[in-house]
Amino acid sequence: MRSGSLERIGVMVRKEFLQVFRDPRMSRVIFVAPIIQLVVFGYAVSTDIRNTRTYVVDHDRSVTSRALIDAFTASGYFRLVGRSDRAADLVGALDGGKAILGIEIPPRLAADIASGRGATVQLLFDGTNSNTATVASGYAERIVQSFGARLAGGSAAPAVDLRPRAWYNPDLSSRDYNVPAVVGSLMLLVSLLLTALAVVREREIGTLEQLMVSPLTARELIAGKTIPFAIIGLFDLALVTTVALLWFRVPFNGNLLLLVLGSVFYLLSGLGIGLLISTVSSTQQEAFLSNFLVFMPAILLSGFVFPVSSMPALFQWITLLNPVRHYLVIVRGLFLKGVGLPALWPEFVWLLVLGVALLGFASTRFHKTVS
């Protein structure tokens, strides 16, 4: 590329930065919105459970039954909201939303345990929120099993000694799983919004025509429009990653250079989609709505919320064309697992291919639009 071309691109880049930072609303989108969204996701979006409302029906009323109830409340996962000796009261608490977990202790719990016959404790869950019920069920089962093992005193060895352990994210913290993924969603949103709105704004106020009759070529115009937003996207990456590490204490076990490289490949797709939206939008409102028409399906089909493996086979194949899916694999692999390029190279290849294809197609469309 000739020095004159580089100089014109540099002037265009400076002009874009001045235009972005001159608008206070755009500055808030770049600097404030990512932090707000990260905090909301970090604190509000969680599949962990604490103080789950629990209702107890204790037919035994023995020292053993009270010890079992104490085991639930002492864990911190469950909070006692009521107790009774009638099963109908437990059903009423679940029906009325007063409790999520109901525990029914049989009349001869202590006697059956003392005799060695074993006892059965019934756990009833409000399955309206299936995720909460599933997690609460796992915690409750472990508490009951641990309580039974303590009473047995290790006198009888189990036929199978099962010792599960989470190899990565040992605490199974949903925050450590969700916060790195927020990086991908924020970078996509920022690159889509800034690229599409910047081009459409030029068209609305009539300055795009002035740029078209300037010495700038179509390639130089595209480069001048996309390079500033790629830099802003990388800045947001640094900003959000810093908050995730220092505020939320999310572990980072991977290579920082690989994270930057994957982010650059990922931004190619975001800038390409934003540029493509700008070619089919006449107003900023239309571009804004088109952005969310793309953004929401991309997030839902990425594995951010729902595992890709749980989707129908057709949608699993469709997700291969979604750059967010591949970027989330890279981000979670680097943050939580600390894996390197030998494990992540397919995702890097997918991101590079998708980025080049999307940006190339969008550039062709943009070139025809301004011609």
Q: What is the pLDDT of residues 87-144, one digit of tens each?
A: 888 888 888 888 888 998 888 888 877 777 777 888 888 877 667 788 888 888 888 8
Single out the residue of 222, 204, 158, 190 nearest to residue 12, CA to CA.
Answer: 222
* Whether pTM exceeds 0.75: yes
The average pLDDT across 28-35 equals: 78
Q: Position 293: which residue type?
A: L
- pLDDT the model gives residue 368: 55
Single out the residue of 345, 334, 352, 350 nearest to residue 259, CA to CA.
Answer: 334
CA distance 371 to 366: 8
The average pLDDT across 134-156 equals: 77
CA distance 90 to 102: 6
- pLDDT the model gives residue 1: 53
Q: How confident is the model at residue 207 (pLDDT cuts 50, 70, 90)?
A: confident
Q: Which residues pair with 84 in a beta bridge?
A: 57
Exposure b/e, 53-66, CB count within 10 A at least 16 = b:
bbbbbbbbebebbe
- Which of 8-17, 43-52, 63-72, 208-217 bottoms out in mean pLDDT, i.e. has the lowest? 208-217
* From-to residues of CATH 3.40.1710.10 in the chain: 52-152
Residue 365 contacts residue 279 (beta carbons within 8 Å) = yes
Instruction: Judge whether residue 161 has pLDDT over 50.
Output: no
Q: What is the pLDDT of residues 243-273, one digit of tens each?
A: 889 988 888 988 999 999 999 999 999 999 9
Q: What is the pLDDT of residues 308-355, one digit of tens each?
A: 877 888 999 999 999 999 999 999 999 988 888 998 999 999 999 999
Highest CATH level, class, for 52-152: alpha beta
